[in-house]
Amino acid sequence: MRLAQRLRDASMWAALRDAAKRPAILLAGNGHVRLDYGVPQVIAATQPAAKVVSVGFVEIGEPVRDQPYTHVWVTLAVPREDVCAAMGPAR
């Protein structure tokens, strides 16, 4: 799964890089915009002088300190169903 995440990050960076050489915005999940292992890390490895701003969305109740983003947007929690429950019991 980690390799799949890294490949998606590299693919997203390639699309940003090829965006007519002008500023671009990536809308992606928190895992992809993390400074420590997401698309920003790929950018830093290939274009260290590039300016990167990363906004992570954090739900109320989650710790806000030490988040791996340049900015944190605190939002209401969204109720989620357990997707694994629909698969039935483990065999």
Task: Provide CB contacts within 8 A for 34, sequence distance 6+.
Answer: 40, 41, 54, 56, 68, 69
Q: At what angle do helices 2-17 and 39-46 cross, to 10 degrees?
A: 60
Q: Where are the domains of the chain?
A: 2-87
Decide: 54 and 70 in contact? Cβ < 8 Å.
Answer: yes
Q: Please say whether the dihedral angle defined by the alpha carbons of residues 27, 30, 35 and 40, taken in this order, is positive or negative.
A: negative
pLDDT tens for the 91 residues of the chain, in order: 889 999 999 999 999 988 877 888 999 999 999 999 999 999 999 999 999 999 999 999 988 888 999 999 999 998 888 888 878 776 5
The pTM (predicted TM-score) of the whole model is 0.77
How far is residue 33's CA from residue 83's CA, in Å, rounded to a whole number? 24
Provide the residue type at 30 as one letter.
N
